[in-house]
Structure 1
Amino acid sequence: MAEKLKLYYFDGRGKMESIRWLLAAAGVEFEEEFLETREQYEKLLQGGSLLFQQVPMVEIDGMKMVQTRAILSYIAAKYNLYGKDLKERALGKGASVFRGRLAVISSRIDTYVGGTDDLMGFILMFPFLSAEDKEKQRAVIVQKATSRYFPAYEKVLKDHGQDFLVGNNFSWADVHLLEAILMVEEKKSDVLSGFPQLQAFKARISSIPTIKRFLEPGSQRKPVPDDKYVETVRRVLCMYYDIKAN
C-alpha cells in the first residue's frame, strides 16, 4: 500500500485548503499534522524543511514540498487534473500538435486558476481583520466577485457550452473555482443569483463523487475560520501585528 501524503499546516483553511480540495477531488487520502505550538514550527525550521520558512508543507513522493502553487501544480499533474485526457486524444496527431494543444490547455488552466487565486486573495486574510474591517472587506469580496471574476467565468461557460472550464474535462481549474464560489457564498448567500451558468456549474461539480464526499460532514474540509484558528496562527507565527482590509 502506498504511503499516505502528509500535510503540515494549521487546523484550518488558509493556504492549505486548496491543496486539501485538489487531493480530495483526485480521490487521494492524506494525513495531517496540525501546528499548534511555536515549538512545532521551530522544529520544522531547524530541520531545514521549510525553504522559505513558511507553511504549507506537503510530504509527497519522497519530497517535502513547499510553496502552495508548486504543490498544487505537482498534484494536478500527478493525478491527471492538468489536461491529461486531451493529451491522450492528441497522441495520434504528431508530436508537434500534441505539444501545442497540451500547452494551450495547460495555459488555460493556469489562467483560470490564477484568476481564482486573485479572488481568493481578498478572502484569505478576512479572519484576521477587525470587526469593522471585516464589513468593509466583505463588501469588497462581493463586489470583486460579481463585477470582475464571476462575469468572466460566466462568459467562458456560456461561450463554449461545455460542462467544464477547459477542454470539457474535469480539471484543477474547476476544483479551484468551486472552492472560491462556496467561499464567496459564505459572505453573501445569493451571490450567484445573476449567474445561471455558474449556478449550473456549481451543481455539476458538486455532484462529482469525490467532490460530493469532500462536501459531506466528517470530511477533511475545514470550516469557516474561527477565533481559535486565528489565535493559533498568531501564536505559532508570532503574528501579532494588525492586518488591514484591501
Structure 2
Amino acid sequence: MSGIKLTYVKGRGFGESGRLIMAAAGVEWEEAHLTDKAQFEKLKQDGLLMFGQVPLLQIDGLNIVQSRAIIQYLANKFDMAGKTAADKAKVNMIIEGAKDFGIFHGIAFHPKESQAGLIAENKKKAENRYLPAFEKLLSGSNSGYFVGDSLTAADVLVFEDLLFMEDYLPGLTASYPKLQVFFEKMKGNPKLSAYLSSDKRFPIPDDKYVAEVIKVLY
C-alpha cells in the first residue's frame, strides 16, 4: 500500500505506535523527518496540525494528528481493532492501559543523575500494577493474544511497552510466563521482526534525540 506518510521527528516518540501497527499490518509508508523548527512551523501555517502538534499521519486523503487518533484509525483500517463491540471495548481498554504503562518512554528527557532512580521507581510500578494485569489478561486467552484469536492494536501497544522496558530492564518479563511467551511470539512475528531489524526502527532515545526534539518542537 502506498500513499501513507508519517511526519515526525527522527526518533521513536509518539510516532512509534503507529509505525508498529503499520509494520504489523505489512504496509509500506513514507517517513518525513522534521529536522528544524521552520519545517514544523510550516506545517502549522499550512493548517495541517489541528492542535499544533506532531505526529501527523497523512492517509486516505486525511491529515490525522494526536497519537491515539492515529492508533485508532490504523487499527480500524487494518482490522486490528477487534471483531465485536465487546472486543473493540477491550482492545481500547488495553490500549489505554498500555499508554499508562509507557513509563519508560520518557526517561531520556530526565537529568542523567535521576535516571537510575526513575528506572527503579518504574520497575516497581511495572511489577506492582501493569505486568500482573497483563499476565492475568493473557491467562484467560486461548490464542496467546490479548483479545480474540488474532493480532490487534492492543497486542502491538503492549509489545511496544515491553520493548521499551527491555531496553532498560532486560529479562523483567521472565517472571511472568504468559507475558514472556507473548513477548517472544511478537518478536517472532515476521512482519514486526522485519521492521525491528530495519533502518526505520530508531534506537533507544539518547541525549542527541532529546536535543533534536527540543530544537525542532520547542
TM range (shorter): over 0.9
* Structure 2 contact 81–88 (Cα < 8 Å) conserved: yes
- Contact kept? 1:141, 1:184, Cα under 8 Å: no
Q: Describe the superposition over 1:105-152 as per-residue Cα deviations: whole angstroms up to 9, x where unpaired.
A: 0000001111110011x2232111101221121112211111111101
- Secondary structure of the 2:99 match is helix
Q: Distance in 1 between matches of 2:38 and 2:122?
A: 35
1:76, 1:171 → 2: CA distance?
7
Q: Which amino acid aligns with 1:104?
A: A
Deviates more, 1:152-161 or 1:4-13: 152-161
2:96 is aligned with what amino acid? G
Task: Report if aligned partners of 1:119, 1:141 keep a CA contact under 8 Å in 2.
Answer: no
SS of the aligned residue for 2:27 comes to coil
Task: Find out whether 1:172 has 2:153 as its counterpart.
Answer: yes
- Residue 186 of structure 1 is matched in structure 2 by 167
d(CA) in 1 for partners of 2:115, 2:11: 18
Stretches of structure 2 that go unaligned for 5 or more consecutive residues are: none
Equivalent-residue separation in structure 2 for 1:29 and 1:15 (angstroms) = 19
Could you tell me which residue of structure 2 aligns to residue 103 of structure 1? 85
What's 2:44 paired with?
A: 45
Any idea what SS the aligned residue of 2:175 has?
A: coil
Residue 222 of structure 1 aligns to a residue whose secondary structure is: coil
Instruction: Supply the AA of the counterpart residue of 2:88.
Output: S
Whether the aligned pair in 2 keeps the contact of 1:142 and 1:187 (CA below 8 Å) is no
Could you tell me which runs of 5 or more consecutive residues in structure 1 were left unpaired when the two chains were aligned. 85-101, 239-246
Query: Do the aligned partners of 1:145 and 1:184 also contact (CA within 8 Å) in 2?
Result: no
In 2, the alpha carbon distance for the partners of 1:72 and 1:58 equals: 10
Q: Calculate percent identity across the aligned residue pairs.
A: 38
Partner residue, 2:133 = 152
Q: 1:220 and 2:205 equivalent?
A: no
Aligned counterpart, 2:75: 76
Displacement of 1:161: 3.6
Contact 1:127 1:225 in 2 (8 A): yes
Partner of 2:12: 13
Cα drift, residue 160 of structure 1: 3.2
**Which residue pairs with 1:119 in the alignment?**
101
User: Alignment length, in residue pairs?
Assistant: 218
CA contact (8 A) 1:6 1:58 kept: yes
1:234 aligns with 2:214: yes
Shift of 1:60: 0.4
Root-mean-square deviation (Å):
1.3
Instruction: Give SS of 1:192's match.
Output: helix
Maintained 8 Å contact 1:59/1:65: yes
**Contact 2:141 / 2:147 at 8 angstroms: preserved in 1?**
no
Larger radius of gyration: 1
Aligned amino acid, residue 143 of structure 1: K
Deviation, structure 1 residue 236 = 1.2
8 A Cα contact 2:2 2:28, kept in partner: no
Aligned to 2:112: 131
Please state whether the residue corresponding to 1:123 is helix, strand or coil: coil
Identify the residue that residue 192 of structure 2 maps to in structure 1.
211
Describe the superposition over 1:26-76 as per-residue Cα deviations: whole angstroms up to 9, x where unpaired. 011011111110110110111111110100101000111101101110000
Q: State the shift of 1:159 in Å.
A: 2.7
Contact persistence 2:5–2:31 (CA under 8 A) = yes
